[in-house]
Every structure is written in structure tokens, then in C-alpha cells.
Structure 1
Amino acid sequence: MSETNEIQLNMMIIMKPYVILNAAMTLDGKIATKTGSLEISGKEDLKRVHELRKEVDGIMVGINTVLVDDPRLTVHKIPSIKSDNPIRIVVDNQGRIPLKSRILNDDAQTIITTSNKVKKDKKSLEHCKKLSKKANIFHSKESSVNLKELMNYLYSKNIKTLMLEGGSTLNFSMIKENLIDEIRVCIAPIVVGGKYAKTLFDGEGFDFMNEAINLELKNSYQLGKDLILEYKVL
């Protein structure tokens, strides 16, 4: 690798938002049941989540979260004004977001990130042209969104702090690329089981324990019936 390319790579890694993965899960690590039911944490934790949303510049999810849950990704569980809403980012390789999705409303700005698969499919390309009237489109040049490139882009858009509310696949992709700085988890005192129920991190996983991502517990406290754990990613 040339010195110039090495400097550019280091800049891409450094010039990224501070990323906080926030999630609620059951005691057995599930973030949803096999049917997609998501009601895990208590009302106190919901307020905590919205307080965090109010503090960050952006909030990111994957396309499956949008298709299944149709979230607004705004601050609405606590007193707020429109300017409190973070910029919403959706990782959507094939540009599948329905035009009537709530994440495309005018409550906040939205950035949709797609891959080069969109340009190779006429139907997807036409759909993205319609989406571009409601959101900013970031096209990755690869067959799946290059997350490091995306982080660099978001930083250039003045998104200095990013809340990740991803599903299990996006969560693993982000942590595998060393793009997560902090993990905050609400653990609810319930067990759902099920081999098809999503966990906090799925994806391809690591083959050996010595490849695992190490964490350092920074804070823990009881919140209503739930337990909040805050970790620094080492």
C-alpha cells in the first residue's frame, strides 16, 4: 500500500461519527421474537432511548427495521421540538423503502444509502429517483454499502454522533468493521428462546473466541424492571 493510500485509509477510519449502539434485549439475548414482536423494555427505558435520540446528530437503522416496524425515528416520548430530531439514516442496499414509510415524513431529514445494485436494476433505479424527492441518496460503489465510506460521508455532513438502532445483521457488520464506539443495552427480565428469533448480533459471526470484540463495562443501573449496561468497545 502506498503512503498516500495509507493516509487516506486512516483518514476514513478517523473521520467518522462517535457511534453508540443502543438496543433492548431479553435475558437470553433476543431483540425480537421469531414473529418479529419487539415489545421488550419498559416505559422508563423508552424515555431513556428518546433522551439519547435528542442528544445525537443522527440515528441509523437497516432496511428490515423500516419494512417490519415502519418507525419514525424521531424524539416523541419526551418533551421535544422538531429541531431535536436527529437525521435519519437507512442502510438499504437495493433501495426498497416504500414511499409511504414514516421515516420519509418531513419531521426530520433522511439519508438513504444504497449499493451499486440499484443502478443495475431499472425498477430499483426508478424507485430511487422517486425516493430522492423525499430523502438524500448516498450511492455506494460496491455491491453492498461500504460502511466505512458511509461513516466518512456522514461525518462530512456534520453528523458527529450517531445512534445505531440496527438489526442483528447491521449490528454485526458495524462492529466487525470496528465502527462502534459504545454499546448501551437494556436487558429485560424475560426469556423468549427460539432459534429463529434475532439476537443482538447475528450476521456471519466470528469463527474463534480470540477474534471476538472486547468490551469494558463503564456503567450499570436498574431502570424500572430493566437493567441498563453501558460498555466501551475496546
Structure 2
Amino acid sequence: MHVVVNAAVSADGKLSSRRREQITISGETDFARVDRLRAEADAVAVGVGTVLADDPSLVRHDEAHRADRYGPDADPPARVAVDSRCRAPADAAILADDPETYVLTSEAAPPDRRRALADAGATLLTAGEDRVDLPAALDDLAAEGVEHLMVEGGGELVFSLFEAGLVDELSVYVGNLVVGGREAPTLADGEGFVDEFPELRLDGVERVDDGVLLEWTVAGT
């Protein structure tokens, strides 16, 4: 599976404020770029923290671009939530209507929460005991036909994917505002690396509005 992480961060590297409320970092030009990235993906993934904080639908994508790439009858990209304990509410926007929604979860998820998400229309893929085993979960997702996965956050999921060596590309829009706050989420949170830091190869730098788009390939992929 090919995994692309995409994010918009402030000039000081924050995904949102310390209140973990969604803030607008990029503009219409970058929104259109993200739409095109989504259109090229088989599925778009977020962590449960993003589901709880932002309630994204993950359905916006460039239909014309997808039709040109895959044909007029191509299915829209599926939606994926990484949710070890099925904490996502049954009325979350990611579960509403089409397209398909997969919840990657663990054995630790309570049975009643599993049922609630399944009844809401999610397809549950279980991998791992206490938390989602990401390599195994992505293998399960690949078995469902997902070959190109776009990840939109949050920081805990992004760190875990890097930690597991699963990221192939990283694209980051750096916006023109400063957020601050030691508790504000960053691009890659989690425990952090203390050695053997993942290295990136810079593929592109582009000015977009009053920010900059940086595109990297993960070294060794």
C-alpha cells in the first residue's frame, strides 16, 4: 500500500490551537490541491481524535479529476477512521451516507461500541489487542482493495505511521499564522523519536498564496 500524509500547519508547526478546535490555515488554492489528492486516493484516513474534534465528512474531492484518472464510473474514495476503542459517535459525519467507511479498531473496543458503529454503517477491521496494529490493519485494508491511502491527521496517527515505517510521502502546507501553545497538536505527536529519526527527501517547494507547500518522499521507500 502507498501511504501519503497530507497536512496544513501554522508557521510554528501546529495543526490547531491548544483547544484542539479546527482553525483555517490554508485557503482555496490549497483546498483545491487537497481535493485532487483525495481524488487520487482509494481511501482517506483520519485518527479518532480528528473525528471527535472536527467531525470531518471526508467526502470533498475533485470528481472531474477522479473521472479523468479512473473513468466516469469510478467510486469515490472510501473513508477510514483509526479508532482503537470505537470512540467515534454513531452520528459522526464520517459515517453518514456514501462512500464506504472503514473503522480500524482493536480487540479492546467494547462490544456495545462495536455494534453501534456497525449499525451506523461502518465496516470494522480489527487488528491488535490494546490498540490498532497499524501494519496488520493496513494489510486488512489492502485486502479490501485500498492500494493508495491518503492520511489527513491527526498528530498521534501520523507519528504512529512514521513509527511503523508505513509512510511513503509527506506533503505539508505551512501557513502564515502563529498559533503557539505547548499543548497545541503538531504534525507528529505521540512519544516522539529519540534516535533513528525518519529521514525525508525534499521533492518540491512551491509558494501557495501567503504560505509554502513542501513535498517530501520518505527516504528508503
TM > 0.5 between the two? yes
Give the partner amino acid of 1:155. Answer: A
Give the partner amino acid of 2:162. Answer: I
- How do residues 83-94 of structure 1 correspond to structure 2 at under 5 angstroms? 85-94=76-85
Which ranges in structure 2 are unaligned for 5 or more consecutive residues?
68-72
| Cα RMSD for the two superposed structures | 1.7
Rg larger for: 1
Which of 89, 98, 109 is the aligned partner of 1:98?
89
Give the partner amino acid of 1:18. Answer: H
2:181 and 2:165 map into 1 onto residues whose CA distance is 29
Give the partner amino acid of 2:45. Answer: M
Q: How many residues align?
A: 211
Give the partner amino acid of 2:200. Answer: L
1:117 and 1:218 map into 2 onto residues whose CA distance is 40
TM-score, scaled relative to structure 2: 0.90
1:78 and 1:223 map into 2 onto residues whose CA distance is 23
Give the partner amino acid of 2:217. Answer: K
- How do residues 63-212 of structure 1 correspond to structure 2 at under 5 angstroms? 63-76=48-61, 85-118=76-109, 124-133=110-119, 134-208=121-195, 211-212=196-197
Which of 37, 42, 62 is the aligned partner of 1:52?
37
Cα deviations across residues 201-221 of structure 1 (Å, max 9, x unaligned)?
11111123xx21110000111
Give the partner amino acid of 1:116. Answer: E
1:145 and 1:111 map into 2 onto residues whose CA distance is 13
Q: Is the partner of 2:29 in helix, strand or coil?
A: helix
Alignment check: 8 A CA contact 1:75 1:84 kept: no
Closer, same or farther in 2 for the Cα pair 1:198/1:141, shift >3 Å?
closer
Alignment check: 8 A CA contact 1:47 1:78 kept: no
Partner of 2:70: none
Which ranges in structure 1 are unaligned for 5 or more consecutive residues?
1-16, 119-123
- Identical columns (%): 36
Alignment check: 8 A CA contact 1:171 1:201 kept: yes
Which of 7, 13, 18 is the aligned partner of 1:34?
18
- Once the 2 structures are TM-superposed, how far is the Cα of residue 65 of structure 1 from its aligned partner? 0.5
1:39 and 1:186 map into 2 onto residues whose CA distance is 12
Q: Is the partner of 1:132 in helix, strand or coil?
A: helix
Partner of 1:223: 208
Give the partner amino acid of 1:33. Answer: S
Alignment check: 8 A CA contact 2:43 2:150 kept: yes
- Once the 2 structures are TM-superposed, how far is the Cα of residue 77 of structure 1 from its aligned partner? 7.0
Cα deviations across residues 22-64 of structure 1 (Å, max 9, x unaligned)?
0000111111111123211111111111111011101111101
- Once the 2 structures are TM-superposed, how far is the Cα of residue 158 of structure 1 from its aligned partner? 1.2
Q: Is the partner of 1:64 in helix, strand or coil?
A: helix
Closer, same or farther in 2 for the Cα pair 1:86/1:74, shift >3 Å?
same
Q: Is the partner of 2:18 in helix, strand or coil?
A: coil
Cα deviations across residues 57-96 of structure 1 (Å, max 9, x unaligned)?
0111110111111100012577688955311111111111
Give the partner amino acid of 1:228. Answer: L
TM-score, scaled relative to structure 1: 0.85
Give the partner amino acid of 1:136. Answer: T
Q: Is the partner of 2:38 in helix, strand or coil?
A: helix
Cα deviations across residues 147-198 of structure 1 (Å, max 9, x unaligned)?
0001111111111100011211111000011100000000102211111111
